Amino acid sequence: MTAHTTHPGTPRAAVGVDELKRAWRAVQVGDYRRHPEAAPRATTSARRQPSDARAWEPHEVVVPVIGCAGSVGATTLALSLATAGASMGARVIECCTVTASGLAPASTAELGQHPSGGWLQGTRGEVLLERGSDIFIGPDEVPPPTDAAATTSLTVLDVGWELGQLLASPNWLADRVLQPGPVVAVTTATIPGLRRLEGALALLEGSPVIGAVLGPPRRKWPRGVEHSLGALTRQLDQHGALHVLPVDRGLAVRGLDSEALPTPLLVAADNILHASGAGDTTKGNPS
């Protein structure tokens, strides 16, 4: 890839979806060095292996949740999915830097730091909550999750990084997002929000994606919002993979805390969990 030189104070041009896709393909074949001549170019069809010893090989079903933008409810949905799957043994892992955590107030009991280091643990009913204990500059600094207990059948990953940044360097989290299993992409029922969803779908081309849109019922969307659906989003909708998440005013104001999650949100999360194929054995919606 061509390296672009920037000088202090010089604004950087926006990066388009096509450029991000080319960058990710370069990462996949190992061509992400500053000087491409340092290594021979592999064929574009080659699939890179997990980057290093920080790879993660879970035994349980894993569902990554990606926020297409900030404050779209990705952490809330991740917790809701794990709550909906609590009967099968579930945990949610928040992968962002510690200073950006939205999961910290949600536990009802704190367990402290895991003996392996790197992760703080808590519980919320039957659900195990894990969140990073350090400041991470990028996703490549996030340590692999702890080994799940034998009784855990579902891990929900709250990815916590902008998708383009996530895919820009080798890391276990990007490897997991690009696995054959489903990815949940969360956005808002706004024109910019749906544009961001379309961009995420382009970057995740070839991966099974479930869209989750935070907003009012579809029949109450403003006309401009409905008409702003991109081609990839429309395909998702035609396959029944575009779900609406109900807005809860209390959650919107106070954020996650130890209070029970709203029933309509848990019902929507249960529908998404079953659509992903991960919730076939769940029963009920524990809160």
The whole-number average pLDDT for the span 82-91 is 95
Ramachandran class of 215: left when φ > 0, alpha when ψ lies in -120 to 50, beta otherwise: left
Predicted pLDDT of residue 115: 86
Predicted pLDDT of residue 18: 66
User: Is the pLDDT confidence value at 91 over 60?
Assistant: yes
Say if CB 84 and CB 270 are below 8 A apart.
Answer: yes
pLDDT band at 22 (very low <50, low <70, confident <90, very high): low
User: Is the pLDDT confidence value at 33 over 70?
Assistant: no
Strand partners, 154: 61, 90
Predicted pLDDT of residue 282: 44
Per-residue pLDDT reduced to its tens digit, 35-71:
333 333 333 233 334 444 468 899 999 999 999 999 9
Write the DSSP assignment of 35-93 as a string of letters: SGGGSPPPPTT--PPP-STT----SSEEEEEEESSTTSSHHHHHHHHHHHTGGG-EEEE
- In sequence order, the 6+-apart residues with CB closer than 8 A to the CB of 239 are none
Predicted pLDDT of residue 19: 63
pLDDT band at 29 (very low <50, low <70, confident <90, very high): very low
The whole-number average pLDDT for the span 72-100 is 96
Question: What is the value of pTM for the model shown?
Answer: 0.80
DSSP-assigned letter for residue 141: G
Predicted pLDDT of residue 21: 59
The whole-number average pLDDT for the span 162-176 is 95
pLDDT band at 110 (very low <50, low <70, confident <90, very high): confident
DSSP-assigned letter for residue 131: E
Predicted pLDDT of residue 260: 94
* Average pLDDT value over all residues in the chain: 84
Per-residue pLDDT reduced to its tens digit, 194-242:
999 999 999 999 899 999 999 999 999 988 999 999 999 999 999 999 9
Of 138, 149, 202, the residue nearest 174 (C-alpha): 138
The whole-number average pLDDT for the span 259-281 is 90
Sorted by where each starts, the structural domains of the chain and their CATH numbers stand as 16-48 (no CATH), 51-275 (3.40.50.300)
The whole-number average pLDDT for the span 73-79 is 97
